[in-house]
């Protein structure tokens, strides 16, 4: 039986994570934010008590609200890998 994510307990930013200068691209004169989560891992505490480190892409698909709340609580929501999706998820939750 698969175990569910109870909470996120840690994170790691790798060397492939985008910095602020790399976070944007220009298309026809418009500045657009790159939508990537590369370089980030979150550590999830599972319902059976185990922990599992997973790519941010997997974490945000498995438990988007918990991942967004973790990012805000740990002051990483302004990082390029988070800022394009965290506000959307948290606003959607309020609806």
Buried b (16+ CB within 10 A) or exposed e, 76-86: bbebbbbeebb
pLDDT-based confidence at residue 92 (cuts at 50, 70, 90): confident
Give the range of the structural domain holding residue 18, as residue numbers without chain letter.
5-94
**Could you tell me if 60 and 37 are in contact, meaning their C-beta atoms sit under 8 angstroms apart?**
yes
Q: List pLDDT tens digits, range 12-71.
A: 999 999 999 999 999 999 999 999 999 999 999 999 999 999 999 999 999 999 999 999
pLDDT at 35: 95
95: pLDDT strictly greater than 60: no
> What's the total number of domains in the chain?
1
Residue 58, judged by CB atoms within 10 A of its CB (0-12, 13-18, 19+), counts as middle
Residue 37, judged by CB atoms within 10 A of its CB (0-12, 13-18, 19+), counts as buried
Which DSSP state fits 63? -
pLDDT-based confidence at residue 1 (cuts at 50, 70, 90): very low
């Amino acid at each position: 039986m698969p175990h569910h994510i109870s909470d996120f307990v840690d994170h790691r930013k790798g060397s492939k994570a985008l910095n602020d200068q790399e976070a944007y691209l220009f298309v026809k004169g418009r500045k657009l934010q790159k939508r990537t989560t590369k370089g980030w891992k979150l550590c999830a505490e599972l319902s059976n008590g185990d922990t599992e480190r997973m790519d941010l892409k997997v974490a945000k698909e498995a438990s988007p609200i918990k991942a967004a709340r973790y990012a805000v609580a740990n002051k990483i929501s302004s990082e390029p890998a988070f800022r394009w999706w965290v506000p959307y998820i948290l606003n959607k939750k309020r609806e």
